[in-house]
Chains A and B, each alone.
Chain A
Amino acid sequence: MITVDHLTKRYGARTVVSDVSFSCPPGSVTGFLGPNGAGKSTTLRSLVGLTVPTSGTATIAGRAHRDLPNAGRQVGVLLDAGAQHAGRTGRETLTLTALVLGVGAERVDEVLGQVGLAGRPAGTRVGSYSLGMRQRLGLAAALLGDPEVLVLDEPANGLDPEGIWWMRGLLRGFADRGGTVLLSSHQLREVEAVADQLVVIAGGRVVAQGSKTELLGRRGTVVRGPDRAVLARALQTAGITVVPGDGDALVADADPLAVGQAAAAAGAVLTELRQAGGEGLEELFRSLTGSADAATQQQPAVAA
């Protein structure tokens, strides 16, 4: 169980994370989505005690990370696969962690096999690992203590399609056995297949959260006209948020009736008006994060 409650992190005047709240129940995979620089990593670092939040709390099983008796046995963390000592072998890296966790050497061999690094790669220095192998090693370290909770920041980075497929299976299995998984990504496709619920963050704020089916049910309207700027202004006047869609189309956050009425009221000509769909979460993700960016910049999403 992970609970993030009204978490805010400011660096001077810059607010990186603003009033973020969400929770991850046991037995589920939560996808933490947002574009780069949205505040995902800062939120995850606050959760595991590497950053002190300005206000708010983040707890694991009801306790702050620093109050866990042996943190690595309760929560497996992979924040940056690049943060490994280049001069140590894969096995040595895990052995050091195993010593801190108080688990035996046989557990090191077990997780090495689990992530596909057994044999020759285990004895190779991390410096010569590919990014994908480092991700596997990082995941092995996270799994080493047999924790109940996994916190992973962009774990699919550097993995090939086969590796991504493998990781999905691993995380799914972990959650199905009652574990809690929180994984971040800036690529929706990576988490869409495995996540039960999604938390979408943009500009440091949560812009959408809920189960995958809930979020998929929320769709906008694709609208097109000869003059995009006029159309965008017409919809914004009616209080409808718009973001750029494919080509010269706009995606409006309202149903087709409301969009049509708004266009008619402003005398804007339409060439296309239809319910958005089929594109699934991708469009939602882009529209949500896009509109949040526009809102923070105090500018209309579409400028001429």
Chain B
Amino acid sequence: MSAATLESGPRRLTGPVTAPSLLRLTRVELRKSCDTRAGRWLLAVIALAAVATVALALFTGHDPLSLSDHLEFAQLATSLLLPVLGILLVTSEWSQRTAMTTFTLVPRRSRVLTAKVLAASVLALLGVAATLVTSAVAVVLTPVVTDGAQDWSLGAAELGQVVLLQLVYVLSGVAFGMLLLSSPLAIVLYFVLPTVFTILVSTVGALDWVADWLDLTTASAPVFDGGLDAQGWLQLATATALWLGLPMALGWLRVHRAEIS
């Protein structure tokens, strides 16, 4: 920026004009997810649901529960609700028509989508961190409210798999959002499609193998049940490809080609 431009043009802001970094864009996306009343409510509901499930398990359980057990309960709530945040991260740009501003400021749409994927991943990690803290509190309280002793058992492998699963669920939500670009449609189909799929393949006997390889619920069950073996990893990969990879690839293309108005 030469001095001449500064004097003759309307430009007064100093500093070089550089493209916003991916980190900066990710921060913006994270801020978008919690700077509205609706966003804050959703986060509050997710936190409340996680605490409630853990509390329920703590106060009503017969056997003393380990950290791993509590985490499983807490994840029940967040893995269900956090993907909605992922969906809204994308679809609210369309329902509120802010996509126009977003893509005018950052014309390379892939950068915005990458930032959204990163932001959703951060939310997933924060979600697991929050449930882990909640579960730890539950373990601390176990001797106080029950007869059982504190049981801190939680394998590193299990924790890793829990994190991975949470990422898969949230990013699958982002993928559904990208593909459908409509909040109600994406939320309904995100919940209905896999459920219908699960019911279909588990009732028709001949489709057993489909359930093993392509149903995300079936494929992810071993995570809380002793961990994934080699074939389990492979089956989780194929199911993830169907419910995350495919919709995200198609959604990415759709957003890229979409006419924004």
Contacts and interface: CB of A to CB of B under 8 A. Distances in A.
A71 B112 CA distance: 14
A243 B88 CA distance: 52
B101 A97 contact: yes
A232 to B, nearest CB: 39
Interface string A28-72: 000000000000010001001111100000000000011011111
B160 interface: no
A77 interface: yes
Interface string B9-30: 1111101011110001101100
Residue of B9, B11, B101 with most chain A CB atoms under a 10 A cut-off: B101
A77 to B, nearest CB: 5
A103 to B, nearest CB: 6
Nearest to A11: B259
Contacts of B259: 45, 50-51
A50 B31 contact: no
A146 interface: yes
17 contacts: A49-B107, A50-B103, A50-B260, A50-B261, A70-B17, A70-B20, A71-B104, A84-B98, A87-B96, A96-B31, A97-B105, A99-B28, A100-B105, A102-B24, A148-B11, A177-B10, A178-B9
Nearest to A74: B17
B62 interface: no
B45 interface: no
Given A70-B19, A71-B106, A85-B98, A178 B8 contact: yes
B24 A100 contact: yes
A143 B39 CA distance: 28
Contacts of B36: 85, 87-88
B100 A50 contact: yes
A80 interface: yes
Contacts of B3: none
Interface string A166-189: 000000001001110000000000
A153 to B, nearest CB: 10
A38 to B, nearest CB: 16
Interface residues of B, number: 38
A182 B55 CA distance: 60
A85 B39 CA distance: 12
B10 A179 contact: yes
Contacts of B198: none
A258 interface: no
A68 B17 CA distance: 10
A274 interface: no
Nearest to B102: A100
B61 to A, nearest CB: 39
The interface size bin for chain A is 35 or more
A25 to B, nearest CB: 13
B10 A146 contact: yes
Contacts of A147: 10-11
Contacts of B25: 100
Interface string A78-105: 0110111111100010001101111100
Contacts of A41: 261
A107 interface: yes
B104 A96 contact: no
A88 B35 CA distance: 7
Nearest to B28: A99
A69 B13 contact: no
Given A70-B19, A147-B11, A179-B10, 17 more contacts: A48-B107, A49-B107, A50-B103, A50-B261, A51-B260, A70-B20, A73-B17, A74-B17, A83-B98, A84-B98, A87-B96, A88-B35, A92-B35, A100-B20, A147-B10, A174-B10, A177-B9
Nearest to A79: B100
Interface string B89-122: 0001000111011011111100000000000000
A83 B1 CA distance: 33
Contacts of A145: 13
Contacts of B101: 83-84, 97, 141
Contacts of A51: 259-261
A41 B259 CA distance: 12
A69 B39 CA distance: 31
A284 B218 CA distance: 71
Nearest to A87: B36
A68 B260 CA distance: 19
B96 A102 contact: no
A102 B35 contact: no
Given A73-B17, A87-B37, A96 B108 contact: no
A172 to B, nearest CB: 12
Contacts of A66: 107-108
Contact of A80 (B31, B97, B108): B97
Given A50-B260, A92-B35, A80 B100 contact: yes
B77 to A, nearest CB: 24
A96 B28 contact: yes
Nearest to A174: B10
Given A45-B261, A146-B11, A83 B31 contact: no
Nearest to A41: B261
B206 interface: no
